[in-house]
Chains A and B, each alone.
Chain A
Amino acid sequence: MSGVVDLIGAVALIGLIKVVVVFVALLLTAALVTYMERKVIADMQARVGPNRWGPFGLLQAIADGIKLFFKEDFRPAAADRWTYAIAPAAAMVPSFLAIAVVPLGDHVTVGDRRVDFVIADINIGILYFLAMGSLGVYGVVLAGWASGSKYPLLGGVRSTAQLISYEIALGLSLVPIAMVAGSLSLSDIVAAQAGTVGNVTFFDGIPVLEQLQDIFSIVPNWYIWSQWPAFAIFFVAGIAETNRAPFDLPEAETELIAGYHTEYSGIRFAMFYLGEYIHVVVLSAVAVSLFFGGWHGPGLGILPWLWPLLWFLAKTLVVVYLIIWLRATLPRLRYDRLMWLGWKRLIPAALLWIVVTATVNTEGVSRNIRLAVFVVLAGLILAWVGRGDPRLAFAVNPQSGDDRGSA
């Protein structure tokens, strides 16, 4: 009996240390990303960006945090008391909980105990990530409703409809990854992407491609090569889930003031703000784990446990950079176009890609048939994406398309 208690005690102790370290690291990264976003966008717009606090303005995020912490924070008289109070926490907590299943690095051995650099390696990791995403809706819908104000209500309801629409596409885009990895655990998925692509024999017998396939022995074995459509869907849906540009309609200041957090101020607003950046970081981390090999990467002999962590951080920041870049580049979508994209493009595309992945990966079907099916399905995808789009001159009949979002 005491052995059981000892084991649970040790598990809880290691868990607590992991949790605190990851929590602090995540908050620091999110603060860094707020600074990074302002600096990167300033650079893209030929401005300077924050440069007053600390070297290169690095302490700007901390200064902002302190300022918001000491600001007066009041609840409007029309607001619903308890819901107004818990909405910021409901927005922030699910966004950081999802990091729990993401493997951040390899493992170290402390004594006779193997400690993995992941908070919890559970067998339903992908579903856990989706569950946290579905709980993240509540922060938005509660903030919008609790404020007792018109703009937050409209922003909250719009945003909720957006979140649930893209949640389906997000979930469906992860199914092909589960198919090729044969597991829902993110640790297994990362482990399956170890090493390089290796010896490819697919193009044997085809003159030029046969020579070119040697290059695969130095290409890392990431799922992005075979699963890039899944990544495209995941990335678009993920950005929509984080409420960021070009999907930042809930905060569209020209029509909704600040959307669901119009009535929030001080530390409660800071929670929404930080929650959004934590969500961005966590989403990037999940994208890296699912499509870019997670923590795998070449390392030197010294400090073998450090290199995976650095690789993971670097890859995550590159994806974060992509998301920031999109914000600087793309204009905001109109709401009907947003729904059009989610329901009539991403969801059918995700379903189609699931079928494609299943067809390609099913054993016992000859290579030629699989190639033929693949070509036919690729043609279908292209024809279907281009159909009815008014910008494409070769579209069959743009006027007859039922699926155009614009009126």
Chain B
Amino acid sequence: MNLEYFVFGVMFVMALGASLAMLFARNAVHAALFLVVTQVALALGFLLQGAFFVAAVQIILYAGAIMVLFLFVIMLLGVDTREALIDPLPGQRPLAIGLGGLLAAEILWVAVRGVELAAGGEDQATALTELNQNPGNVKALAAELFSRYLLPFEATSVLLVVAIVGVMVLARRIGRVPNTGTGAESASGSDKEGAAA
């Protein structure tokens, strides 16, 4: 038996099983944990493809950073608050169903056409293997990133700055709402802000 198929099978079961478990988990923290498992499985998938750097980034950024952010949001909102069954935005459920159907159709199309689309994939796979051997995965990626994809790279930094500014605006607004945090800490914080303003 080929080992790669075996690893792919493990990754497949892990990713799909954890995704389904995430959908049906009743507890928000459990759902977030299943999403972490999915991210790790996807990192395994990248590893299998020979994309070592992307695999590491997947774990550091998605499993490590973004999921922690998710957990913080869950804890910020309080875990045992009941899920609101009334839509705050009217019409978002039909819209979600429509968009989900579109996504499902897209995935189905890719799956059906997959064999055709992957026709040129053999060459690219061997090219990637050679690149991984000779300058190494990260070096090859860096050479591309800092020459051909320079503008997107620099745009990323601007995007990150915009994100920081967004965080500040968001936090300012939350900070004005009284009693969002736990007791004394937030009270003293808002006092200080009031005094500064």
- Chain B: CB-nearest residue to A131: B59
Q: Is the CB of A134 within 8 A of B63?
A: yes
Query: CB-CB < 8 A to B3: which residues of A?
Result: 8
Interface status of A141 (Cβ within 8 A of chain B): yes
Q: Is the CB of A80 within 8 A of B64?
A: no
Interface status of B81 (Cβ within 8 A of chain A): no
Q: Mostly helix, strand, loop or mixed at chain B's interface?
A: helix
Interface status of B149 (Cβ within 8 A of chain A): no
Q: Is the CB of B71 within 8 A of A131?
A: no
Query: CB-CB < 8 A to B182: which residues of A?
Result: 154
Q: Is the CB of A127 within 8 A of B56?
A: yes
Q: Which listed segment binds A: B27-35, B159-167, B172-180? A: B27-35
Q: Is the CB of A131 within 8 A of B60?
A: yes
Interface status of A270 (Cβ within 8 A of chain B): no
Which of B55, B56, B68, B75 is the one whose CB lies under 8 Å from A137? B68
Query: Whole-angstrom distance between the alpha carbons of A138 and B192 in the complex?
Result: 33
Query: CB-CB < 8 A to A154: which residues of B?
Result: 182
> Count the A-B residue pairs with Cβ separation under 8 angstroms: how many?
63
Query: Whole-angstrom distance between the alpha carbons of A130 and B29 in the complex?
Result: 24
Query: CB-CB < 8 A to A142: which residues of B?
Result: 33
Query: Whole-angstrom distance between the alpha carbons of A142 and B136 in the complex?
Result: 37
Q: Is the CB of B56 within 8 A of A134?
A: no
Query: Whole-angstrom distance between the alpha carbons of A184 and B138 in the complex?
Result: 9
Q: Is the CB of A124 within 8 A of B138?
A: yes
Known: A8-B3, A83-B29, A135-B64. A123 touches B56 (CB 8 A): no
Tell me the minimal C-beta distance from A77 to chain B in angstroms: 15
Q: Is the CB of B68 within 8 A of A164?
A: yes
Which of A82, A122, A167 is the one whose CB lies under 8 Å from B52? A122
Interface status of A243 (Cβ within 8 A of chain B): no
Q: Is the CB of A127 within 8 A of B60?
A: yes
Q: Is the CB of B56 within 8 A of A128?
A: yes
Which of A80, A83, A124, A145 is the one whose CB lies under 8 Å from B137? A124
Query: Whole-angstrom distance between the alpha carbons of A135 and B64 in the complex?
Result: 5
- Chain A: CB-nearest residue to B75: A157
Q: Is the CB of A80 within 8 A of B136?
A: no
Interface status of A160 (Cβ within 8 A of chain B): yes
Interface members, chain B 35-74 (any A CB < 8 Å)? 36, 52-53, 55-57, 59-60, 63-65, 68, 71-72
19 residue pairs of the A-B complex, CB under 8 angstroms, read A8-B3, A82-B30, A124-B138, A127-B53, A128-B56, A130-B56, A130-B60, A131-B56, A131-B59, A131-B60, A131-B63, A131-B64, A134-B60, A135-B59, A145-B79, A153-B75, A164-B65, A183-B136, A407-B192
By a beta-carbon cutoff of 8 Å, the part of chain A in contact with chain B is 8, 80, 82-83, 122-124, 127-128, 130-131, 133-135, 137-138, 141-142, 145, 153-154, 157, 160, 164, 167, 183-184, 407
